[in-house]
Amino acid sequence: MSTTVSVTPLAPAGTWAADPVHSNVSFEIGYAGVNTFRGAFKEFTAVLAGDSLEGTAAVASVDVKDDHLNDHLQTPDFFDAERFPEIAFTATELAKAEDGTLSGTGELTIKGVTRPITLTGRIADAPATDPFGRERLGVRLEATIDRNEYGVSWNAPNQSGGNYLADEVALFAELALVRQEG
């Protein structure tokens, strides 16, 4: 008796690179026990080829809408940008379900520490063609990490109890991928 396994390709053949104008790489963390603090990276790359997705984010490009806090995030208290100027990601396994949902695993490197992560998300059913004739494919990925595992452990006590920063950080990549020529 033979078994047939149906595998849904992650994306059409070729190499797909993130369009940084129409893509976003961001994070969310609980702050002061009362709200969610958000930030993003202005400079990043992401390339999907076959079932392989790799990306980087320039630590110096972190943007949290406050210049003093942006500067503090560059220090060893947080990202230590001088020693570790880049955050890197590699998907080690991604699977697409028939409904377009994604699941998988990957490796994330922050401050020179590489740890496995679990991914969820969605991918467009098929590419769309933009007004300039380029094929585009939308991908959204999410993961949650414990920032302490990467050596990002700065905190301050909250006068109402607990700490100002939560340990869990939600990571998001909303990518408009463009098929590359050649």
What are the boundaries of each domain within the chain?
15-179
Residue 5 has pLDDT above 50, yes or no: no
Residue 169 has pLDDT above 60, yes or no: yes
Residue 182 has pLDDT above 70, yes or no: no
pLDDT of residue 175: 98
* CA-based end-to-end distance of the chain: 42
Tokens of 65: 């809408």
How far is C-alpha 63 from the chain's CA centre? Answer: 15
Q: pTM score, two decimals?
A: 0.92
Read off the DSSP letter of residue 122: E
pLDDT of residue 8: 64
Sign of the torsion formed by the C-alpha atoms of 80, 83, 86 and 92: negative
Q: Mean pLDDT across the stretch 114-131?
A: 95
Contact indicator for 100, 121 with CB cutoff of 8 Å:
no
Residue 51 has pLDDT above 90, yes or no: no
Percentage of the chain lying above the pLDDT 70 cut: 95
pLDDT of residue 43: 98
Over residues 85-108, the pLDDT tens digits come to 999 999 989 999 888 899 999 999
Over residues 61-93, the pLDDT tens digits come to 999 999 999 999 999 999 999 999 999 999 989
Q: Does domain 15-179 have CATH number 2.40.128.110?
A: yes
Question: Rg (Cα) of the chain, in Å, rounded?
Answer: 18
Residue 4 has pLDDT above 70, yes or no: no
